[in-house]
Structure 1
Amino acid sequence: MTMISNFKPIVVAVTSALLLSSCAVTQSVENNKETVIGCAIGTGIGALIGNYIGGKEGMAYGAAAGAAIGCTVGYDFQKKREALEALAKTENLDIQFTSISASTNADNQQNSLLISANNQAMSKEDQEKYSDYQVVGMAATISSTDEMMFGSGSAEATAQAKQKLQKLAAIYKDSKQNILITGHTDASGSESLNQTLSEARARYVATLFNQAGIPTERLFFQGAGESQPVAANTNETGKAKNRRVEIVEIEGKPEQLLAYSNKQKTNLSYLSRRSQDKVATVKPSETTAKSVDVASKDAQITMTQSEMVQLIEPAKQQKALVDFGGQKMTDPSTNFAQLVGTKKESGFALFSNAYASEISSLNCAVEGPRVAGDVKSLATGESYNRQDYNTADYLPGMNGTVWVNKVNGHYIGLSPVAVIKDSGTAVAAPKVNIWKNYKGASQEAPSYELSSHVETYYGDRGLLYRIFTTDKDSPVRCIDVVMPIDRSATAITGKLYYEKNKTVYEAGFEPKLL
């Protein structure tokens, strides 16, 4: 009974403060979604704790306390959104908001961040699936509607834009959460230069936030460059939307910011948008009868051979260093993106509903590697990475394992294959080991031991695992594999791309877990 008595004044104090803050459930649900969601979830959690502490009476008090805490969290994000909307009107800024939620159930197998637009409707099935998710953060994506915020090639904002950014930082000055600031560019110019420039600009904005009073230890920045386009880069309107700054604020440890960034990197929608932009750079020849279809219902990308050649990095090898017995590549697209499906919790908040449902992709040989930066700490300037993953954090069969396949008599091993299940992010770049004309000698050293750059794209049916070899003289250009996300020990499908006769060839590649 003593525990209940001690619990009462806490509930009364918190609830009173809540009411004085106008956090009443009688407010409009439409205008105060974050608050209402926080109240509802907080009530449920508090009731469970109260019941554990003091039975039915404790359950009632616990529900009240939980509602107070939940309302407060939602209320903070709601008021910040209102302030940002007011700033957008006075300063001619375009601001879009994304809600970030996380499961409250530690045993939930889908325990990852849910990223969704505030106006994004959920099916009844999804409502049940995410019923235990609680709002833990908000992302605000900002672009200017009337001017360039940064001079061409400059990491410093214009004088007018700096004032706007300082007003923006002032809205966040009392924040107690960790904040990630990500810079995005359009696709004009060099991809590597765009990444470097976007990172410098993100760091500049983070510095303004620090000057507003936020400690460097809670500020992080990232340069995504042109790797995450939300609109076509073929016109000025689309380019303006792609030139943006994203401010992500999430409760909890900095690992939550890293998880958000990882989910964005593995979002298939960005891959599709990049593929469509790349196809659009090819000028159709006057003799072609075919058109470039970049967003059809079957998500195929079609073009002539001459158009395709313009998109591919020239092949230099006349004789294949390793002949994998494949065929000349004639199709620039791949259906692998459709095979992996789409993960609803990845969110398509900044895309139109029509576009988000049309996933198309070039294969890795035509698409080429993306250039995206790491999340970095403003306090240290160093990349922020998580190192404490355990076996349960990985996708089945991808916890630092070896996957192998024999192709035309040559043995190929990928190791280590390490992919986190929450975001589908590869946390290690595998070596691509090749044994030419393999005879089964297990102690034999590989003929080639190739370094790689790896990208992953996560769906609800599989994982697109994309490897680009980085060695100067490599017998493999890249590999696309659709990996299973259940406990299957064989890849769903895959292709390996290599050079022969100064062109690109492809061979089937379906590795198995060793």
Structure 2
Amino acid sequence: MHSLRNLLVIFTVVLIVSGCSSKPGENKIDSTTPSYTNEKLFSVYKDILNLSTEPLYLKIDGNTKLVGTKTTSHSIFKTGSSEFTDKGAAQAYFYFRGVNAKAEKTWLTVVGHTDASGNSNNNLKLSEQRSFEVASFASMAGPNLDTHYQFGDYLPEYSNNTKTGRKKNRRVDFLEFHEKEYLDFYLKKHYVAAYEKEIARRQASAQKSVKPSRENKSNNINDEAPLIKPAKRKVGQYVDFNGSSFQSHQFDTIALLEPKAESFSFFKKAVAADISESCINDTSSIVVDDRVVTSSGYFPFMNKTSWWGEVNNHGILITPVAVENDDTTVVVAPTVHVYENYKKGQKPSYTYIADAIAYEGENSILYRVYPRDSENSLQCIDLLLSKHMSSTNRQAIRGKIIYDSKQGLRVANYMPVFTN
């Protein structure tokens, strides 16, 4: 089995190295190629490309008819990127699927999806890049493959609240139909309609949750206005961090998060492109599984560590900070301890169980923390942590606390250090 897989990879690379097209189908290859059935290809690449397949049916003239197949490749891309985890295997598998489709005169299309990490608009672009990569390999054989589709994080099949679910949602659907009209009908019914329904649901949800800031009485809601603004706080929860107004604060954290270069991709991609400037506007799924997830490796000083800093004489401790270096997953939900008017030996004044999400840049990690109880004054925390920290360099690059006060939403700088 391994020898056949290696042979297919070598053969496909020889065909593809002649050049990469800017559009799927531009560089069609006319040559005599070995023939392998779709079933044989599936058995060879099932595990390495995390493949699953299913027959597709439509009801036609009152009868249920087999019209095609859907083969889904799960987690074949790196997080936030269109770089394949195993490019050679992907090239071989999808190219030979194109070869078979040309011989059978079937119709193909590719549909790209992402998990819910990051901004939804960027996820749409990313899913388009992913579907393009797959379509490019298949179209080199010259089958009926006119276009490819993308739906970003709008059509998840699994929960985005777990690491396993997010990996499975980073997927590509490879559709093959006997007739083009069946393909078009299936796309409209099972993808486009569901996509439009999800857009409507999100718009309705956003309209319910958006409230204007107390400091801005107008009806115009800026893109960077806080998405969620509870009107009431628990008695005694206001802690004065001496921050500036949210609307007037100059956010510079994202500017320091350099995009991660993807050296082996056809494109230069940014893993953390266009992330919201402030944590309070991040619409990503941020719920961390309360079960402690085991990890084979962490980023330096992000291996269940504690971070301490003082802001306006108040102490803030975040622990544990645990970010996996494989796909930048937060594997343990952190707790935030606030020490009002801190004195040595003091017990925390407030303790907040929190969720977190992390984004990887070229040299740093953006770590965002969200207390689960929205009625607390503390709304969220942004930390920018270096991937190259050492025992002599263990302070955050940047940090922001966004909190509610009697004067409205405010932002304070927070520069914690690693403490254990």
TM-score normalised over the length of structure 1: 0.44
Match of 1:397 among 301, 305, 312: 301
Residues 1:452 and 2:368 are matched in the alignment: no
Match of 2:45 among 55, 68, 76: 76
Q: What is the one-letter code of the residue matched to 1:365?
A: I
Q: Is the 2:260–2:269 contact (alpha carbons within 8 Å) kept by the matching residues of 1?
A: no
1:451 match: secondary structure: strand
Query: How do 1:258-407 and structure 2 match up within 5 A?
Result: 258=164, 261=167, 309=225, 311-317=227-233, 321-330=238-247, 334-344=251-261, 359-367=274-282, 370=285, 386-387=293-294, 389=295, 393-407=297-311
Q: What is the one-letter code of the residue matched to 2:14?
A: V
Q: Give the 3 Å change call, closer, same or farther, for CA 135–228 of structure 1 in structure 2.
A: farther
Q: Could you tell me how far 1:423 is from its partner in structure 2? A: 2.2
Q: Give the 3 Å change call, closer, same or farther, for CA 495–438 of structure 1 in structure 2.
A: same
Q: Partners of 2:118 and 2:359 in 1: how far apart?
A: 17
Q: Partners of 1:471 and 1:83 in 2: how far apart?
A: 39
Q: Could you tell me how far 1:386 is from its partner in structure 2? A: 4.2
Question: 1:300-321, CA deviations, whole angstroms, 9 ceiling, x for partnerless residues?
Answer: xxx9766655734244359861
Partner of 1:510: 415
Q: Partners of 1:484 and 1:463 in 2: how far apart?
A: 6
1:342 match: secondary structure: coil
Residues 1:485 and 2:387 are matched in the alignment: yes
Q: Is the 1:116–1:347 contact (alpha carbons within 8 Å) kept by the matching residues of 2?
A: no
Q: Give the 3 Å change call, closer, same or farther, for CA 244–347 of structure 1 in structure 2.
A: farther
Q: Could you tell me how far 1:449 is from its partner in structure 2? A: 1.2
Q: Partners of 1:333 and 1:459 in 2: how far apart?
A: 21
Q: Partners of 1:355 and 1:394 in 2: how far apart?
A: 21
Query: How do 1:185-224 and structure 2 match up within 5 A?
Result: none
Q: Is the 1:99–1:115 contact (alpha carbons within 8 Å) kept by the matching residues of 2?
A: no
Q: Give the 3 Å change call, closer, same or farther, for CA 136–238 of structure 1 in structure 2.
A: closer
Relative CO higher for 1 or 2, CA cutoff 8 Å, sep ≥ 6? 2
Match of 1:438 among 333, 342, 347: 342
| RMSD over equivalenced CA pairs, Å | 5.7
Name the count of aligned residue pairs. 298
Partner of 1:149: none
Deviates more, 1:238-247 or 1:430-439: 238-247
Q: Is the 2:378–2:404 contact (alpha carbons within 8 Å) kept by the matching residues of 1?
A: yes
Question: 1:252-302, CA deviations, whole angstroms, 9 ceiling, x for partnerless residues?
Answer: xxx9x84972996xxxxxxxxx9xx99xx79xxxxxxxxxxxxxxxxxxxx
Q: Give the 3 Å change call, closer, same or farther, for CA 320–346 of structure 1 in structure 2.
A: farther
Question: 1:189-243, CA deviations, whole angstroms, 9 ceiling, x for partnerless residues?
Answer: xxxxxxxxxxxxxxxxxxxxxxxxxxxxxxxxxx9599866328xxxx9995654
Q: Is the 1:320–1:499 contact (alpha carbons within 8 Å) kept by the matching residues of 2?
A: no
1:311 match: secondary structure: coil
2:124 match: secondary structure: coil
What are structure 1's unaligned runs of at least 5 residues? Answer: 1-12, 34-71, 102-111, 119-129, 141-167, 169-181, 185-222, 248-254, 265-273, 283-302, 375-382
Question: 1:95-139, CA deviations, whole angstroms, 9 ceiling, x for partnerless residues?
Answer: 8979848xxxxxxxxxx8896457xxxxxxxxxxx9xx775779x
Q: What is the one-letter code of the residue matched to 2:351?
A: E
Q: What is the one-letter code of the residue matched to 2:324?
A: I
Q: Give the 3 Å change call, closer, same or farther, for CA 95–32 of structure 1 in structure 2.
A: farther
Q: Could you tell me how far 1:497 is from its partner in structure 2? A: 0.9
Query: How do 1:456-471 and structure 2 match up within 5 A?
Result: 456-471=358-373
Q: Could you tell me how far 1:484 is from its partner in structure 2? A: 1.3
Q: Could you tell me how far 1:507 is from its partner in structure 2? A: 0.3
Q: Could you tell me how far 1:340 is from its partner in structure 2? A: 2.3
Question: 1:78-106, CA deviations, whole angstroms, 9 ceiling, x for partnerless residues?
Answer: 9999998x99xx969998979848xxxxx
Q: Could you tell me how far 1:183 is from its partner in structure 2? A: 8.6
Q: Give the 3 Å change call, closer, same or farther, for CA 100–32 of structure 1 in structure 2.
A: farther
Q: Partners of 2:292 and 2:90 in 1: how far apart?
A: 20
Q: Partners of 2:379 and 2:310 in 1: how far apart?
A: 17
Match of 1:408 among 284, 295, 312: 312
Match of 1:423 among 308, 314, 327: 327
Q: Could you tell me how far 1:503 is from its partner in structure 2? A: 1.7
Q: Is the 2:320–2:333 contact (alpha carbons within 8 Å) kept by the matching residues of 1?
A: yes
Q: Partners of 1:82 and 1:468 in 2: how far apart?
A: 35
Query: How do 1:35-50 and structure 2 match up within 5 A?
Result: none
Q: Give the 3 Å change call, closer, same or farther, for CA 310–245 of structure 1 in structure 2.
A: closer
Q: Is the 1:263–1:425 contact (alpha carbons within 8 Å) kept by the matching residues of 2?
A: no
Q: Is the 1:224–1:373 contact (alpha carbons within 8 Å) kept by the matching residues of 2?
A: no
Aligned-pair identity in percent equals 23
Q: Partners of 1:258 and 1:340 in 2: how far apart?
A: 26
Q: Is the 2:298–2:323 contact (alpha carbons within 8 Å) kept by the matching residues of 1?
A: yes
Q: Partners of 1:454 and 1:367 in 2: how far apart?
A: 11
Q: Is the 1:225–1:372 contact (alpha carbons within 8 Å) kept by the matching residues of 2?
A: no
Q: Could you tell me how far 1:347 is from its partner in structure 2? A: 9.9
Q: Is the 2:259–2:271 contact (alpha carbons within 8 Å) kept by the matching residues of 1?
A: no
Q: What is the one-letter code of the residue matched to 1:231?
A: L
Greater share of helix residues, 1 or 2? 1
Q: Is the 1:416–1:430 contact (alpha carbons within 8 Å) kept by the matching residues of 2?
A: yes
Question: 1:456-494, CA deviations, whole angstroms, 9 ceiling, x for partnerless residues?
Answer: 111121111101112354231110111111123000001
Question: 1:311-352, CA deviations, whole angstroms, 9 ceiling, x for partnerless residues?
Answer: 342443598611001111115884433422233459999xx9
Partner of 1:59: none
1:489 match: secondary structure: coil
Q: Partners of 1:92 and 1:73 in 2: how far apart?
A: 16
Q: Give the 3 Å change call, closer, same or farther, for CA 359–306 of structure 1 in structure 2.
A: closer
Q: Give the 3 Å change call, closer, same or farther, for CA 348–243 of structure 1 in structure 2.
A: farther
2:256 match: secondary structure: helix
Q: Could you tell me how far 1:395 is from its partner in structure 2? A: 1.6
